[in-house]
């Protein structure tokens, strides 16, 4: 599976709509979702 876009709203501290556009990173071949423990990476 290759995610292209993720839209979140009312998720954790983000009350308004947030859009993560993975297509902008597609030319890089690899991207990483990272953050401190408890930041919500698994929830995404």
Domain span including residue 24:
1-44
More confidently predicted of 1 and 20: 20
- Per-residue burial over 3-30, b = 16 or more CB atoms within 10 Å of its CB, e = otherwise: eeeeeeeeeeeeeeeeeeeeeeeeeeee
Number of H helices, E strands in the chain: 0, 2
pLDDT(40) > 80: no
pLDDT, tens digit, for every residue of 2-35? 788 989 899 878 889 999 888 887 777 777 788 8
Please give the pLDDT value at position 20. Answer: 87
Task: State how many domains the chain has.
Answer: 1
């Amino acid at each position: 599976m290759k995610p292209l876009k993720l839209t979140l709203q009312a998720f954790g501290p983000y009350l308004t709509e947030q859009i993560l556009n993975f297509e902008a990173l597609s030319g890089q071949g690899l991207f990483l979702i990272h953050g401190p423990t408890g930041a919500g990476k698994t929830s995404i």
